[in-house]
Amino acid sequence: MDELQLKEMIRSLLNEMGGDSAVKETAATDQNKAEKPAVSLQEEVKQDTSVIEDGIIPDITEVDIQEQFLVPNAINEEAYRKIKKFTPARLGLWRAGDRYKTQSVLRFRADHAAAQDAVFSYVSDDFIKEMGFIPVQTKATTKDEYLTRPDFGRVFPEDQQAIIKEKCKPNAKVQIVVGDGLSSSAIEANVKDFLPALKQGLKMFGLDFGEVLFIKHARVAAMDQIAELTGAEVICMLVGERPGLVTAESMSAYLAYKPTVGMPEAKRTVVSNIHKGGTPAVEAGAYVAEIIKKILDNKKSGIDLK
């Protein structure tokens, strides 16, 4: 069947479905196509990309999922949007057949890639220098070793222990520690705003603190050995949380009163979900300073702290 026969068949079907008007519309479309001058492939590409200004494609991750609503002809769109305000979950994305729409799939893949990057990347050396941190490293020597041997991320080799003893103020009321944890992105996104608020709060309560340690390949329990090495009463450890598809920039603050190696996890107090979509870093810093004061007053932390 050649192209002419195919067109005749289509016209016949349209005639049966919609009458003469459909045939005339199809004929007019064919006439317009015939009159339209031929365009080269390069010209077609140029026309298709003309909406992109300055060669920049819009960043799909900039779309606020809580504002995005793709359900056509929703029975109660207003109520649906109200529900979305209370959760960052991927609601109201709709589908094409039995699959998600392309933009939803691309956003999922972009968020998943950001989560992977947060785990496998490192806090930059420039950031550590800018913040004036004292850099040390746990027994884990590579990212793979850190991920597969959690026990290595909880202890320090002898040379690093010596640095901690030399650089940290002995027997301080509070020792502040920053660890990369499972999200380097969380540290770089929140620490700059968190630390000034925390330090200001500690000064207001008259609590002394020394230099800030930065731990590469850090697990939370690394704070225990630091306490034993420095004699600090309270360890405040900021660490990047395991990233998810909602955010890769969530940080937690772990607090413990005179922690010791091997102590139960229940002895720790934690403030989690510190990020722009959760508890803002500045607010969290002030709040953590209050908790530290409470821990010192009661000489307890974790579930023992009422």
Mark the binding-site residues for adenosylcob(III)alamin, compressed into ranges: 220, 241
Q: What whole-number distance in Å separates Cα of residue 223 and Cα of residue 258? A: 10
The annotated binding site is made up of 220, 241
